[in-house]
Structure 1
Amino acid sequence: MGLIGILLGLALLMWLAYRGWSILMVAPPAAIIVAVFSGEPLLAHWTQTFMSGAARFVAQWFPLFLLGGLFGKLMGDSGSVSAIAQYLTKKLGASHTMLAVVAASAIVTYGGVSVFVAFFVLAPLAHEMFRATNLPPRLIPAAVGLGAFTFTMSVMPGTPSVNNAIPMPYFGTTTFAAPGLSLIASAIIFVFGMWWLRRAEAAARKAGEGYAGEAGIAPVVNEMVREQAAPAGDFDPAELPHGKRAESGPPFVLAILPIVVVIVTNFLMALVVFPRLDFSFLSEPRWGGITIGAVSGVWSVLVALALANLTVILINFRRLPSVRETLDAGANSAALPMLMIASLVGFGAVVAAVPAFALVRDAVFSVQGGPLVSLALSMNVLAGLTGTASGGMAIVLNAFGADFMRLATEHHIDPELMHRITTMSAGTLDALPHNGTVLLLLQTSGLTHRESYLDMVMTVIVSCIIALVAVLILGSVFGSF
């Protein structure tokens, strides 16, 4: 009965979330269903198990969500994202429109700008670019998606995304985990994705298919898509139109400077500064009795984003119409996604606490192929079912993180390899049709699943699966590098 309760709770969570119900409303009753079928005390699981799991997630990740929300909003309202996209378009030329869209999406998201901010700014620009070169707009989501939420979200070493940060406390790693494998995987995703886009572009031109949309499309986010998108990202889409945008953006050099600050500072903090400082005081009970390895990765990203936020403000202080309104919107944007993912973690905590969970644990670790394959499969399944990479990842790691770390030690697997397999696995099947990021990208592009999703499958799912298989093989043979 307990296992039936787990499946029913998960099914209810998935179905209502897909229907646009808020995860904040859905997760507690789903967790209570799990407790009911397990014969466990309901109120105790709600206030002690569910809320404890959710509270731990908030306590650990609120600073990252906050600084990330501020950075995304500042980069969008200052016109920096638009300036980067326009510069790349001009330099690459009309014959490389597809590459320009992918490159602009990749650069801003690798630098720490939320994918939702990127969508809101880049979708209208992409429509203008596609109209000018007479390309079918149905390919816009596949191009933006390839650049915004594949290799820059989960694969590239150093990316400050939440998805790349969540595994760090469990494996004692940094965002630069397994850099060699990360770069190989990123190249595979990029090359395969661009090959598909070029192929689709050539087929469209041969068939005489050109631009048939409306130029100057204004992105709109409705409430249902907001509820579906929020737990799949780190930015509340409702805050996208809030604040005041600059009338003109900065020059390209100034626009990209905050992104450079994020990357360079993160690298220096994680690999140069923190390893050379004495943090022995962290072993004291008042600081949680931890080591610097458990927090250095998170601290590095926080310092990088804090300096980048300051850089954006200093560069664009006279350009931003209202710094306060932009900062308010950026701060508010962090609250809903963080609480929604925390609720998913709370649901996972209840599941992990009931006796029937032992059956789930046995099933996960009985998969043939060793810990890496078990890790990859469990991440794919949970991310696909919940429609969120970060939520699925947090649930699995909260339940099995210590077990996977123990198995890594027993099988002499580098924790950095575990980190990279985790992020890549969560970033594959999460992009199924019900995924909030997919829904938001389609809506801001003014397109539908029927028009654009097949090409998205190839650029944001198939490409990532191919890269994941390559990393599993290389990591199993050569280890982490």
Structure 2
Amino acid sequence: MSFLIVLAALALLMFAAYRGYSVILFAPVAALGAVLFTDPAQVAPVFSGIFMEKMVGFVKLYFPVFMLGAVFGKVIELSGYSEAIVATAIRYIGRSRANAVIVAVCALLTYGGVSLFVVVFAVYPFAAELYRQSDIPKRLLPGAIALGAFSFTMDALPGTPQIQNIIPTTFFQTTSWAAPVLGVTGALFIIAVGLSYLEWRRRSALAKGEGYGSNLRNEPERVESGDLPHPLLAILPLLVVGIANFALTRAIPQWYGDSYTVPPEILPGIATPVTTTVKTVTAIWAVEAALLLGILFVVLSAFKRVAQRFAEGSKAAVGGALLAAMNTASEYGFGGVIAALPGFIVVSNALKSIPDPLVNAAVSVSSLAGITGSASGGMSIALAAMSDLFIQGAQAAQIPLDVLHRVVAMASGGMDTLPHNGAVITLLAVTGLTHRESYRDIFAVTLIKTAAVFVVIAVYYAFGVV
């Protein structure tokens, strides 16, 4: 019975997300409903002592990353830099390689720190025009955007500032650059197989005489690119974020040591010293500082463009960041409650029956990401409940925690893009397409991402590379 209660709570959250209801509302409803059926007297204490503690703890750690990432993406958009990057990629890579162009542009933007939601809006007008001129069916477009924005730059490539690559750092005391060889290997697998699939779909449509289509929804207006910034200037903010993140990841521990204490003598208003364990926040501090530098660079280099709309744009960015962070934090609180239930012991024991620690972590994280429809949410639930188990298994098998970090990060981006995923729903809404028309190709990318995790595990065991 206890196991069925856990399954029912997970099913309710998945159904709510699929139907478009707020996860912020239904995560506590599902979690406390499970507590109610377990022991009604524990509902209020669990809500205050577990759900809210976990939720607030997540916001404390990660909201600045969400906020700065959203603001950086917004100033990139306001400055015209994202449009310049897209237009240049089309010009130099060529219209005959439409899928490669779209994947390359999405990858460049997301690896530079731009939110994947922002990437969808920024790339769509150019991608649609490229597909139209190449006479490729528009229904195939979401698959190309998903491959470029929702996959290898989100969690596989080392150093990516996306939140899916940052969350494991606080559990495993790693950095965002963990297991670079394995990360690049997984990324190359996703790119090669993904582009091959997209090209196969394009050729199949061409053979059937199917063109771009007519009477389509949400078609973008033709984009005038004559007044865009120089592409070399446009790409510099992305380089600033990447280089600063890399450098600060190494510099911060040298500046602060293993821990840092702020004494009352420095800040008389505090009653006791404030001590921070630096290794647990190095990656977060590095990403936050790198994004700040990127924002500053864009504002200074494109001041006139950005200043005109910065007030409204920044409000929208912060609002979006708050919503995204609270969605994930609610799922994190949900995971903390579920992990405390008797029924979860049954799930945990079942997962423990998977003897290999890396496969165990991959299956656990990917499954929960699929259930919640969120890479960061599923990973948060899994790590909140089972990170100690993962670490113990890896240490017993003498597997570096860097490898565990990369496997967990990539697994979070495996089955997360199921139909109820927020990014999928946003992508289809922006492109004016439906699940029936385009989800097949998004799901193919989902399967490729999931397979890549196990390719990386196999490569590690075969060659021992990290």
TM-score norm. by structure 1 comes to 0.90
Query: Which residue is equivalent to 1:253?
Result: 232
Shift, 1:472, TM fit: 0.9
Query: Which residue is equivalent to 1:468?
Result: 453
SS in 2 for 1:413: coil
- Following the alignment from structure 1 to structure 2, what is the Cα–Cα distance between the partners of residues 392 and 280? 30
SS in 2 for 1:282: strand
SS in 2 for 1:193: helix
Shift, 1:214, TM fit: 5.7
Query: What value does the CA root-mean-square deviation take over the aligned residues?
Result: 1.9
Shift, 1:181, TM fit: 0.8
Shift, 1:138, TM fit: 1.2
Query: Which residue is equivalent to 2:71?
Result: 70
Alignment of 1:74-93 (within 5 A): 74-93=75-94
Q: Deviations over 1:350-395 (max 9, x none)?
A: 1122233322221121213x11111011011100111000000001
Shift, 1:478, TM fit: 3.2
Query: Which residue is equivalent to 1:415?
Result: 401
Alignment of 1:356-371 (within 5 A): 356-368=343-355, 370-371=356-357
Query: Which residue is equivalent to 1:447?
Result: 433
Amino acid at match of 1:312: V
Query: Which residue is equivalent to 1:274?
Result: 252
The 8 Å contact of residues 217 and 432 in structure 2, kept in 1 or not, is answered as no
- Following the alignment from structure 2 to structure 1, what is the Cα–Cα distance between the partners of residues 342 and 191? 44
SS in 2 for 1:300: helix
Shift, 1:403, TM fit: 2.1
Q: Deviations over 1:124-170 (max 9, x none)?
A: 21111111111111111111111111101010111100111110011
The 8 Å contact of residues 414 and 479 in structure 1, kept in 2 or not, is answered as no
Shift, 1:450, TM fit: 2.0
Query: Which residue is equivalent to 1:404?
Result: 390
Q: Deviations over 1:27-64 (max 9, x none)?
A: 12211111122215111111221101101101111110
The 8 Å contact of residues 431 and 461 in structure 1, kept in 2 or not, is answered as yes
The 8 Å contact of residues 348 and 395 in structure 1, kept in 2 or not, is answered as yes
Q: Deviations over 1:267-292 (max 9, x none)?
A: 11113x224334244379944562x3
- Following the alignment from structure 1 to structure 2, what is the Cα–Cα distance between the partners of residues 2 and 215? 49
Alignment of 1:69-218 (within 5 A): 69-213=70-214, 217=218
Query: Which residue is equivalent to 1:36?
Result: 36
Amino acid at match of 1:464: K
- Following the alignment from structure 2 to structure 1, what is the Cα–Cα distance between the partners of residues 19 and 275? 41
The 8 Å contact of residues 78 and 309 in structure 2, kept in 1 or not, is answered as no
Matched, 1:346 2:333: yes
The 8 Å contact of residues 127 and 216 in structure 1, kept in 2 or not, is answered as no
Shift, 1:21, TM fit: 1.2
Amino acid at match of 1:36: L
- Following the alignment from structure 2 to structure 1, what is the Cα–Cα distance between the partners of residues 273 and 463? 40
Query: Which residue is equivalent to 2:266?
Result: none
SS in 1 for 2:176: coil
Query: Which residue is equivalent to 1:376?
Result: 362
Query: Which residue is equivalent to 2:267?
Result: none
| CA shift in 2, pair 1:401/1:454, >3 Å | same
The 8 Å contact of residues 127 and 137 in structure 1, kept in 2 or not, is answered as yes
Shift, 1:116, TM fit: 0.8
Matched, 1:264 2:239: no
Query: Which residue is equivalent to 1:224?
Result: none
- Following the alignment from structure 1 to structure 2, what is the Cα–Cα distance between the partners of residues 115 and 214? 28
Query: Which residue is equivalent to 2:16?
Result: 16
| CA shift in 2, pair 1:6/1:283, >3 Å | farther
| CA shift in 2, pair 1:286/1:358, >3 Å | farther
| CA shift in 2, pair 1:12/1:257, >3 Å | same
Query: Which residue is equivalent to 1:299?
Result: 285
| CA shift in 2, pair 1:77/1:362, >3 Å | same
| CA shift in 2, pair 1:373/1:64, >3 Å | same
- Following the alignment from structure 2 to structure 1, what is the Cα–Cα distance between the partners of residues 252 and 283? 9
The 8 Å contact of residues 137 and 211 in structure 2, kept in 1 or not, is answered as yes
| CA shift in 2, pair 1:289/1:356, >3 Å | farther
The 8 Å contact of residues 111 and 160 in structure 2, kept in 1 or not, is answered as yes
- Following the alignment from structure 1 to structure 2, what is the Cα–Cα distance between the partners of residues 213 and 338? 38
Q: Deviations over 1:401-431 (max 9, x none)?
A: 1221222222211001000100111111111
The 8 Å contact of residues 82 and 122 in structure 1, kept in 2 or not, is answered as yes
- Following the alignment from structure 1 to structure 2, what is the Cα–Cα distance between the partners of residues 341 and 118? 20
- Following the alignment from structure 1 to structure 2, what is the Cα–Cα distance between the partners of residues 214 and 404? 51
| CA shift in 2, pair 1:278/1:342, >3 Å | closer
The 8 Å contact of residues 52 and 333 in structure 2, kept in 1 or not, is answered as yes
Shift, 1:218, TM fit: 5.2
- Following the alignment from structure 1 to structure 2, what is the Cα–Cα distance between the partners of residues 360 and 461? 24
- Following the alignment from structure 2 to structure 1, what is the Cα–Cα distance between the partners of residues 37 and 382? 21
The 8 Å contact of residues 417 and 479 in structure 1, kept in 2 or not, is answered as no
TM-score norm. by structure 2 comes to 0.92
- Following the alignment from structure 2 to structure 1, what is the Cα–Cα distance between the partners of residues 258 and 100? 48
The 8 Å contact of residues 99 and 194 in structure 1, kept in 2 or not, is answered as yes
- Percent identity over the alignment is 38
